[in-house]
Structure 1
Amino acid sequence: MTKQLSFLPKIDRAATQEKLEGILESVRIYKQFGMMRKEMKVTPSYERREHGPTHAVGKPLEDVAISNIQQSKREEWLEKMAFRVEQALSRFGNSTAGKNQRDIIVKRYLEDEDVCDYMVYNEIGMSERTYRRVKARAFYKLAFALRLEVYETEETGGNES
């Protein structure tokens, strides 16, 4: 018997789910709080401190400015990712399946912090088995839409037969 060639790489489901959950968690926190900018301390510190070399010059204003610039780059990335997630979820379709998939992702990962799976499938009115299947399909679609899928690497060592 000859083996059928497959040109599509296999997806590492666990790694893809972990990556996507991390992104969704970051987006949820960004939507709730936004980014907090650092501010320079203006009150003096009256605690004793040991002096080091006296030629060192502290630049607290510049340090705060650099930190805020780095934070604003992350904020831009999070804003773009939040927009992409919303856009991908809106393209799930208006059918019952698409609506269920969208509801699962939004209720479980984007609304509140301490929401468990059983709370979501009870709220939606779905059995646990159906919920798990629909959630897996929704993750698969969302990972492809956001280009976050992780592929398995085959370790054949070059001796394929």
Structure 2
Amino acid sequence: MKEIVPKVDEKKTKAALEKTLYKYRDYLLTLPSDLMPTITPAYSLVCPSNTNSFSSKTENLAIERVQYEEARTAYMNKIHSAVATLKPVERQIIIQRFLAEDPYYDVDIFIDLGLSKNTYYKKKWQAMLRLAFALKIEVYQRNAVVK
């Protein structure tokens, strides 16, 4: 009987993980200006269709802001939980390279950790692969390996 063993597509998995981690950094650094209330008044000659309900732009923006913050917090907690599963050196590499407000360059990280270049890149790839599995964003090749 032949066994089908899926194989991870390394390039696509790395791209998916980097996209996820850059989204984390975006959440960390930005708050969209379209979720901030405007300070200039807007007037309209059109009467509201339902006179029993009250809705203001500021109220709607406040609701959107709360929803955004909830989604942001959930996303960041998901990333934090996944990073916490990594080994200490792997965690440090991921945090410094991808999650810091001002990310480090690879060369600075491996010098800081006292690792050789080759060892650093092996550990970085292991950390990225473990993190992709923890976040359930790994990508498999379409053509499965048959054993």
Identify whether the pair has TM-score above 0.5, normalized to the shorter chain.
yes
The residue that corresponds to 1:81 in the other structure is 75
The residue that corresponds to 1:21 in the other structure is 18
The residue that corresponds to 2:53 in the other structure is none
Q: Percent identity?
A: 25
Of residues 115, 119, 124, the one that matches 1:130 is: 119
Q: Compute the displacement of 1:113 (Å).
A: 3.2
Gap regions ≥5 residues in structure 2: 49-55
The residue that corresponds to 1:104 in the other structure is 93
The residue that corresponds to 1:65 in the other structure is 60
Per-residue deviation, residues 44-97 of structure 1 (Å, max 9, x unmatched): 8xxxxxxxxxxx95x9x549936962x6545433321211221122222xxxxx
Q: Compute the displacement of 1:24 (Å).
A: 1.1
Residue 94 of structure 2 aligns to which amino acid in structure 1? I
Residue 113 of structure 1 aligns to which amino acid in structure 2? D
CA distance in 2, matches of 1:73, 1:137: 35
TM-score where L is the length of structure 1: 0.67
CA distance in 2, matches of 1:35, 1:21: 21
Larger radius of gyration: 1
How many residue pairs align between the two structures? 136
The residue that corresponds to 2:37 in the other structure is 39
Q: Compute the displacement of 1:135 (Å).
A: 0.7
SS of equivalent to 2:5: coil
Task: Name the Cα RMSD after superposition.
Answer: 3.3
